[in-house]
Each structure stands twice: as C-alpha cells, then as structure tokens.
Amino acid sequence: MPTKKMTDKEWFHQHLSDRSTKLIPYKSATPKKFNSSTVAWSTLLLLFVTTSISFAQTTVTIPVETEKNAMVLQTDHEGRLGVIYFGSKLANTTEYAGIPSQYNLKSDNAPTYNSCYTPAGTWNLIEPAVQITHADGNMSLDLKYVSSETKKIDANVNLTSVLLKDPLYANEVTLYYKTYYKENVVEQWSVIKNGEKKAIHMQKYASANLYLMGNDFYLTHYNGTWGNEMKPEEDHLSHGIKSIDSKLGTRANLLEPSAFMVSFDKPATEDEGKVLLGQLAWSGNFKLDFEVDNYNNLRVIAGINPYASEYQLAAGQEFTTPGFIYTFSNNGKGEASRNLHHWATKYRLLDGEGSRLTLLNNWEATYFDFDENKLVGLFKGAKKLGVDMFLLDDGWFANKYPRNGDTAGLGDWQENKKKLPHGIGYLVKEATAAGVKFGIWVEPEMVSPKSELYEKHKDWVIREIDRPEKYYRHQLVLDLSNPTVQNFVYGVLDTLFTKNPTLAFIKWDCNAVIYNAHSAYLQKAGLPQSQLYVDYVKGLYKVLDRLRAKYPTVPMMLCSGGGGRVDYGALQFFTEYWPSDNTDPVERIFMQWEYSYFYPAIASCNHITDWSKLPLKFRTDVAMMGKMGYDIVVDKLNEKDLQFSQQAVTNYRSISDLVWHGDLYRLVNPNKNPIASLMFSNTDKSRAIVFNYLVNTRFMPSATPLPVQLKGLDAAKKYTVKEINVYPGTSSSIQPSTVYSGNFLMTVGINPDVHLGRASVLLEVNEVK
C-alpha cells in the first residue's frame, strides 16, 4: 500500500526546498517526514561523514570523484537525480553546479534519458534500471532524491551513498559509489529496500545506470567458446540498444564476458582518447545495455540479467546488487587497463600484491591415465625443472564409478583406491620428499549422473524432475541455492585441507552450464524458481567466503573448462585464473593480450604444454608474460630443451616481480601487425622486460623492419638491453653493452630482430647507474 500520496510538487517542496546549496558533495539534509520503518532503513553508521552545506537553492549537485575523473549527479526541477557530467574532473569542484543540465528537459513531452537509476512504470518510457511489482500488484515506481553522504573509508577510498525514494510506496533505493582515488576506479552498486507490509517482486534490479555524453561511441566486447576465448569485436554504436548478456548460469563468460570497453568519438586506441573499461563483478547471468539516445549520448545499464530471474523481496528485506566496476581514461585503453590492474592487485584479487607458485600440472601430460607411481615420477620432473609445485588434475577420485574419463565420478570425492591406494596423504608426503609442494584439482559444484552422489541426492541436483536431463560435458550442476548443498561443497574442500594440512594449492573447475534450471530446494521452501540463477551465485559466494575465512591464504586457480568464469566477483576469492584450455602459444598471445585489458598479468595462468608443436622456447616465452606453469612430461624433454627450461624457470624468477607487479605497456598490437610486443616496467622505471613474438609466419622480408618504441621508461635515465631466454647453442643479435637513453628507447626504439628464425625475443632493460 502507498505510504502517503503526494504530488510531485509537494514531494519536491517537502524534501528539497529547505536546501540551499547547489553543490552537495557530502551529507545532505534528510527529509523532514518519514514513517518509522523508513527511518530505520536509512540509518547508516558512518565513520566519517563530512558536513552538509545548506543554501537557499533547490538543485542538489553530487560529484563522484577520483584523482582524474568525475561523474556529476544533479537533481532536476522535480527532484529526480540525473547524470549531468562524466569525464575529466574540474580543478574547481564548485563549478560542477554550473554545468548546464540540458539533459533535464522541462517540457512535458520530453523524455528524460539521463536518470542515474531509471525506474519503470511512471514517467519513464525507456529501458529501466529497476522494475518492480508492489505488494498490491501495482507496477509503477518513481525514485526521487532524498539525501546523500560521503564516507571516507581511508586516505584513498571513499563511499558515496545516495538515497532515493518512491513518493508513493515505501520503497527505497540507495546507490553506492565506492571510489578508488589514485586508481581512478569506481565500484557502483545499489541496494533496494522493501518497506511495504508484504513482499514485492523485482523484475529488473541493475547495479548501475551510467550516462555518457558524446557524439559517437564504439563498443569493444568479446565473444568466444571453449578453446577460443576473448575474441574482441568493436562496434560503432548506433541508435537503439545493443545488449550483451549471459544466460548460461554458471560459466557466464563462456560465450560473452561482461568485460567491455567504450571509446568516445573514435575506436579505442592504446595511448590516446577517452575510454571507459567496465565489467560486472558477478559470476552468473548478467546483462549490459548500451543505448544511444536521441541526444546521441550513451546510456549504460549493467546488472544481473533479468531473464527468468524475478526476485521476491519480503517485507522489510533489502537486496544488494553486485558491483559494477569501471574506470575512465583520457589517455586510451592502455592507461585505463593499468588503472584496473592497480586497483585489482591492491583491492580485489586475492593476494594481488603477493607472489605466485610456479608449477607442473599433469592434465595434458596424463589426462585421466595415471596412478600413484606415475605421479611420483612426475614430482621428480617438477623438481628437475625447478618449479615450486606439482598440481594433480582431474581423475584422482571416485570408486563405484571411477573417474577414468569425463563421464563418471563427479561428486564422489574419495581417492580412487586403484589409482591411489595410499591416498592423497601419501602423494603430499612424496611430493614434499621430492622437494616440491602439492596442489589438487576439484570441481565441487558438479555431479556426474553416474555417481554415488547422484544416486543418493537427486534432490541436490539442478534438474527438471519430469523432463529428460540435458548434460554439458556429461554432467549436471548441484543446487547451490540449497544450504545443505553449500555445506557439502564446503566440506569437499575442508576435508581435503583437514586431512592434508600442507596442501598448497587448489584448482577449482566448473565445466557445465545450467540447463533445466529447477531447484527442488526452492520448491520445498516455497520460494520462486526464478530466484535460482541469483541464489546459485549467492550460494557459491557463501561457500567461498566460508572457505576463505578458514583458509585465507591458500592460492586457488579459478578455472571453468578454460576461461568460462573469469570476473571480479569470483576473483576476490582466487589468486589466479585459467584463461583457456587452448595453450597454443600463438592463440594465447591474442587471448592473453585481450584479457590483459581487464586483469593483471599476475592472475593469468599461462602453461607450457604440448598442445602446439611450436618450439619450446616460443611456448615458454609466451607463458612468461603472466603466471608461468608447465603441463608436460619433463622426462620427455631432450637435453637442450631441459637445459633451456631450467634456465627459463630461473630467468622467470628474476623477472617475475616485473610481470606480477610492474606496469604493463602494449607496444605493438598483434591484431594489426606481424608481431606482438608488450612490456612491464617497475615503479621507479629502473627495470623493464619486453616480450616480442612473431604472430604471422607468412613470408616477410623482415618481420620487424622498424624498431619497437618502448614505453614506461624514464627519458633521462640510461639503460642497457639484454636478451634473455636465449636457446642453448644459439646467440643473441642484441648488443648487451650498448647504452641507450630512455629518451632514445621511447622515441627511436630498439629492433628486437624478430623473424622466422627468432620467433620470440625477450629483452631485459636495466638502468645503468
């Protein structure tokens, strides 16, 4: 039921007419009249709330700022909040209030496009950010500005919250903007609160609704499938809506990830132009709407996919949407991506500022065909190579239906007695004796129809009871909306750790999408089936949260049949991700290049495998531009390859700090050139590593006729350039004793001399003191 009927004019006067400022960067006045439940919801415990300023004017202006950028929100003549500016920040913040709000047209028949959170069913006839059905069946929603405040979390991070309220119904939305000042990153989300006496139903509940001003926009988004992840596509956005979404449930990134770029005025370039990089931090169905409006501006609405996901909110309950993460740069996508890297390593990726373990994985070396003795033999190989750890992959478990292929056993997480008669404990002991750590693969969200788990707990499985089952990789997904299933999944990991306290690493896989999205648990609980997609992800995060509370530091790889699940929702629990099962180095150069716009290199697991027959040096050099690992049988390496690999592991150790924590600069784009070139330099610009790869093996008189101009050095410093990872028996054509100025290397450049006989070249740049 409506709480109180008011005309727009009354609302406006009651809530805003006592205001006297044009600029409210901080806490603003709260409405004079609230019913008690509204007051209770809006009570926020603030550590630091800066003071409100009151003037006699009626317009409220709220800048959301980082070091370089600002988004400015402003109320219109009816108290609705819109975005009036998005871009470089002004030197004088008081001038924001003077930005002409030409987007808030006052004429009766003009649509308002710039709402900062567009409600459905009232004045708005364009794509909404939020759409609900009230307890009485009414479907209208209006949101008007009530108050805002900015809380200082620390010297670098602020949290601005803006309270909006429906004048007629007891529903509130609080918009949150968490700003990371130095990194120029914003995380935005909303909290929707139901103050009605009965449940409301939310049909759409986006995290963010941006409004970008410009004349022309280009959208770079990605498509892919297994073994073919992160294929970029750049579209010129025309009028109408371009939507990117996922309905796969679990492996939400498989076909279209939520990571995207929008460039203003012209296609995105590396070092110049206005670029927005964004993604939804959510490991489930998402939807991004890009709408060019009649003023040629761009509306961006990002959130959980409303598809089959109507969500019920009981009386007094609130719903927190996932974070929409974005950064803006005036200096191209290179700077924008470094913003994200700095933010991710400091604030999001687990142990982002720490180190990583090099490893030998047995997946491509053995697939399911191994036993205890074979594995112990591989441990010795890991030691010989010099890596830190051995990672045991799929196939180690299940007895009634042994996991000897991908058609059985998932869910039965007991060691297979035939393959591993002495259990995991024995393997951990043997690995330790061989001088390497031990890690293990799990896929705990899944179940094989041929498993004891399936036989015992069919009600734990997501399936339509009366319809034929549909499998993805011969398996089904467990119902993580069910707390008992959450306990089971947690228990799989907890048991492994409890029995093997020195377990050093987990590879967490997820190979199936959700077909036949039906939950026996939700049915029994009397909850709508349409909550399954959302409650699945919430359930997954609950499990991961609980695991991280008990095991905060164990490194974990996020894997999903390759890169089917890579996002900043999941990466708060994981130290790294598996970009693709495709480890062909040429394919990986392109994929790793694209992933690198959104994720730092420390998180990218790049393994050297036998997938491709290209020279081992080339495969190794490609793996080194991220977190290096191996997936080979070391004993099969010939003498020179072994010698090269041992040296490469040592070299990697000496440059890993640059790759993991340095600044990434992309130098030559493989999409447009026969070579790819990129580099990482450290903060004081005294060291750098430059990776150069040949990507086009068609005949060329010279692959790099021109030098490659480096970036991220100090023009005034002097440097030498030395080639590393030189294959035994060959020599480098790079003169290590030549001294260059940073100015020279960045203006004229250096030719890495890449050609068919030297398909990859790694150059270490060191300051001469």
Residues engaged in binding ligand DGJ (CB under 6 A) = 363, 393-394, 441, 509, 511, 559, 561-562, 578, 581
Q: How far is the CB of 599 from ligand DGJ (least distance, A)?
A: 17
Which tokens hold the place of 564? 């089917």
Pick between residue 393 and residue 567 the one whose CB is nearest to ligand DGJ: 393
Q: How many helices (H) and strands (E) does the chain have?
A: 14, 35
What angle separates helix 532-550 from helix 483-499, to the nearest 10 degrees?
Answer: 30
- Minimum CB separation from ligand DGJ for residue 494, in Å? 21
Minimum CB distance to ligand DGJ smaller for 394 or for 430: 394
From 125, 123, 207, select the one nearest 168 (Cα to Cα): 123
In the complex, least distance from residue 393 CB atom to ligand DGJ, rounded to whole angstroms = 5
Alpha-carbon gap, residue 743 to 758, rounded angstroms: 27
Q: Are 240 and 258 within 8 A, CB to CB?
A: no
Residue 626's nearest CA partner among 599, 654, 647, 650 is 599
Alpha-carbon separation of residue 407 from 76, 395, 410 (angstroms): 60, 11, 8
Cβ closest to ligand DGJ, residue 375 vs residue 679: 375
What is the closest distance, in whole angstroms, from the C-beta atom of residue 629 to ligand DGJ in the complex?
11
DSSP 3-state of 371: coil
DSSP string, 75-129: E-TTS-EEEEEEEEPPSSGGGGGGS--TTS--STT-----BSS-BSSSS--S--S
Q: Which is nearer to ligand DGJ, 584 or 764 (CB)?
A: 584
**Measured in whole angstroms, how far is the alpha carbon of residue 666 from the centre of its chain?**
20
DSSP 346: I
Structure tokens, 275: 């670029």
b or e along 96-110 (b: 16 or more beta carbons within 10 Å of the residue's beta carbon)? bbeeebebbeeeeee
Q: Which is nearer to ligand DGJ, 405 or 483 (CB)?
A: 405
Distance of closest approach, residue 585 Cβ to ligand DGJ, in angstroms: 16
19 vs 12: CA distance, rounded Å: 11
Structure tokens at 213: 């001003």
Q: Kindly tell me which of 310 and 581 has the beta carbon lying closer to ligand DGJ.
A: 581
CB nearer to ligand DGJ: pick between 117 and 508: 508
Closest CA to 578 of 562, 600, 602, 555: 562
State the minimum distance, in angstroms, from the CB of residue 721 to ligand DGJ: 36
Of the candidates 136, 147, 167, 525, the residue with the CA atom closest to the CA atom of residue 315: 136
Residue from 93, 92, 96, 87 nearest 69 by CA: 87
Q: Which residue has the tokens 């709260």?
A: 30
DSSP codes, 20-65: --S--SS--PPPS---HHHHHHT----S-BPPP---S----EEEEE
Alpha carbon distances (Å) from 61 to 88, 417, 730: 17, 68, 65
The residue (of 397 and 680) whose beta carbon lies closer to ligand DGJ is 397
Instruction: Name the residue with tokens 């044009």.
Output: 22
Closest to ligand DGJ by CB, 581 or 641: 581
Q: Torsions phi, psi of 393, nearest 5?
A: -95, -160
User: HEC states along 490-552?
Assistant: HHHHHHHHHHCCCCCEEEECCCCCCCCCCCHHHHHHCCCHHHHHHHHHHHHHHHHHHHHHHCC
Q: Closest approach of Cβ 562 to ligand DGJ, in Å?
A: 5
- Whichever of 415 and 581 has its CB closer to ligand DGJ, that residue is 581
Q: Which is nearer to ligand DGJ, 388 or 581 (CB)?
A: 581
Compute the least distance from the CB of residue 405 to ligand DGJ, in Å.
Answer: 10
267 vs 405, which CB is nearer to ligand DGJ?
405
Report the C-alpha gap between 77 and 12 in whole angstroms.
8
270 vs 581, beta carbon nearer ligand DGJ: 581
Q: Tell which residue, 569, 555, 635, has the closest CA to residue 602.
A: 555
Tell me the closest approach of the beta carbon of residue 507 to ligand DGJ, in angstroms.
6
Minimum distance from CB of 511 to ligand DGJ (Å)?
A: 6
Angle between the N-to-C axes of helices 585-595 and 616-623, in degrees from 0 to 180, rounded to the nearest 10: 10
**Buried b / exposed e across 447-482, counting CB within 10 Å, b at 16+?**
bbbbbbbbeebebbbbbeeeeeeeebeebbbbbbbb
> Least distance to ligand DGJ from the beta carbon of 571, Å?
17
CB of 475 to ligand DGJ, least distance (A): 10
Q: What are phi and psi of 384, to 5 degrees?
A: -60, -40
Nearer to ligand DGJ, 446 or 745 (CB): 446
Q: CB of residue 412 vs ligand DGJ: minimum separation in angstroms?
A: 15
Distance of CA 743 to the CA centre of its chain: 35
Residue nearest to ligand DGJ (CB): 394
CB of 448 to ligand DGJ, least distance (A): 12
Min dist. Cβ of residue 415 to ligand DGJ (A): 17
Q: Is 210 left (phi over 0), alpha (psi -120 to 50) or beta?
A: beta
Residue whose entry in the numeric block shows the structure tokens 């899944």? 446
The terminus-to-terminus CA distance of the chain in angstroms comes to 75
**Residue with Cβ nearer ligand DGJ (175 or 252):** 252
Identify which of residues 25 and 585 has a Cβ nearer to ligand DGJ in the complex: 585
CA angle 565, 600, 437 (to 5 degrees): 75
- Smallest distance, ligand DGJ to C-beta of residue 637, A: 21
Closest to ligand DGJ by CB, 30 vs 407, is 407
Smallest gap from residue 361 Cβ to ligand DGJ (A): 8
